[in-house]
């Protein structure tokens, strides 16, 4: 079956879905994106993702191509047209395609580019990694200063992923001024003496939608949460560690820079949070 992709108002077979070479996303990484997961054909945390999308657009003075209700319709139409059961929907908006390359933003009436496509991942919620845990390395955080905006400039995170692979690991945690910011495409957490510790929100990290939900569920379950920076040494001495993102939900981390965390196996708190997150998110899925 050919994947059907959405481009600027049209549903097209993927080999016919095209954008201009002058697109600002292509030339300047002048674009924002969202990744929403789909379980049993339903959208997880859709509201959170559209709210963050609006915030990203506002922070960059970028025009929205349509309202949130229309975005929801497009998401649902793509799920239907692609028979998507489990997976993700990727959405990207760029500042459009003026007819030349220019650092200055194009005229405000330039139509933004809107692209959405599906990624099928059967059994997304039953990832074997949830049983074994991930191994991560630490690397210097060399990204720009507005990581709270979900832009498509992902070269450094991509380099980080390759550094992790070269070290025989699954991901990299980025470190700035001695403290962990986040993973290449996820938020980072440790657990010490029953307290969940994760970096506080700011311009240094992306305000994860999964993070917000997981912390809410944790507090509702009377777990203690501390939002503050933590170091690599603190993480290595923690009882447990994990990450969150739309595509991995809650995923245990069992090793950092070659050192086992806790027992070296996924811990009970991360496992419980994963269970609660999946259960509650499935219930609230639309």
Q: Is 265 a catalytic residue?
A: no
* Distance of closest approach, residue 135 Cβ to ligand PDD, in angstroms: 18
Among 118, 210, 236, 281, binds ligand PDD (CB under 6 A): 210
Cα–Cα distance between 81 and 41 in angstroms, integer? 11
Nearest-approach distance from CB 198 to ligand PDD, in angstroms:
11
Candidate list 186, 198, 236, 281; residue touching ligand PDD; CB under 6 A: 186
Only one of the segments 6-14, 70-78, 101-109, 238-246 lies at the binding site for ligand PDD (rule: CB under 6 A); that segment is 238-246
208 binds ligand PDD (CB under 6 A): yes
Name the β-bridge partners of 116.
Answer: 6, 91
- 186-190 long-range CB contacts below 8 Å, 24 or more apart? 186/243, 186/244, 186/245, 186/248, 186/251, 187/211, 187/243, 187/244, 187/245, 188/235, 188/241, 188/243, 188/253, 189/241, 189/242, 189/243, 189/244, 190/230, 190/234, 190/235, 190/238, 190/240, 190/241, 190/261
Nearest distance, CB of residue 134 and ligand PDD, angstroms: 14
Distances (CA, A) of 195 to 4, 211, 248: 44, 15, 22
CB contact at 8 A, 85 and 75: no
Instruction: In whole angstroms, give the CA distance from residue 24 to residue 152.
Output: 11
| Part in contact with ligand PDD (CB under 6 A); list of ranges 205-213, 224-232, 266-274, 277-285 | 205-213
Closer to ligand PDD by Cβ: residue 4 or 188? 188
By C-beta, is 97 or 186 nearer to ligand PDD? 186
Choice among 51, 131, 150, 283 that is catalytic: 150
Size, binding site for ligand PDD by CB under 6 A:
14
Interacting positions 10-49 with ligand PDD (CB under 6 A):
35
Binding site for ligand PDD (CB under 6 A): 35, 182, 185-187, 206, 208-211, 244-247
The residues carrying an active-site annotation are 150
């Amino acid at each position: 079956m050919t994947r059907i992709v959405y481009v600027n108002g049209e549903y097209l077979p993927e080999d016919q879905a095209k954008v201009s070479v002058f697109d600002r996303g292509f030339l300047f990484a002048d674009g924002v994106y969202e990744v929403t997961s789909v379980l049993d054909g339903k959208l997880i945390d859709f509201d959170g993702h559209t709210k963050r999308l609006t915030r990203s657009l506002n922070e960059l003075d970028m025009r929205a191509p349509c309202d949130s209700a229309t975005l929801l319709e497009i998401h649902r139409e793509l799920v239907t047209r692609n028979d998507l059961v489990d997976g993700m929907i990727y959405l990207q908006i760029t500042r459009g395609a003026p007819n030349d390359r220019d650092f200055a933003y194009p005229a405000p009436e330039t139509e933004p580019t809107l692209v959405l496509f599906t990624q099928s991942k059967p059994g997304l919620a039953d990832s074997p990694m949830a049983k074994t845990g991930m191994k991560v390395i630490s690397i210097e955080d060399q990204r720009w200063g507005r990581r709270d905006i979900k832009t498509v400039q992902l070269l450094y995170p991509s380099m980080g992923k390759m550094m992790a692979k070269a070290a025989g690991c699954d991901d990299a945690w980025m470190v700035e001024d001695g403290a962990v910011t986040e993973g290449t495409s996820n938020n980072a957490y440790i657990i010490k003496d029953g307290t969940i510790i994760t970096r506080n929100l700011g311009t240094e990290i992306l305000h994860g939608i999964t993070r917000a939900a997981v912390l809410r569920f944790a507090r509702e379950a009377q777990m203690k949460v501390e939002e503050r920076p933590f170091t690599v040494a603190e993480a290595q001495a923690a009882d447990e560690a994990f990450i969150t993102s739309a595509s991995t939900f809650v995923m245990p981390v069992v090793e950092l820079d070659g050192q086992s965390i806790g027992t070296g196996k996924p811990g009970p708190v991360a496992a419980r949070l994963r269970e609660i997150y999946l259960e509650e998110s499935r219930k609230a899925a639309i």
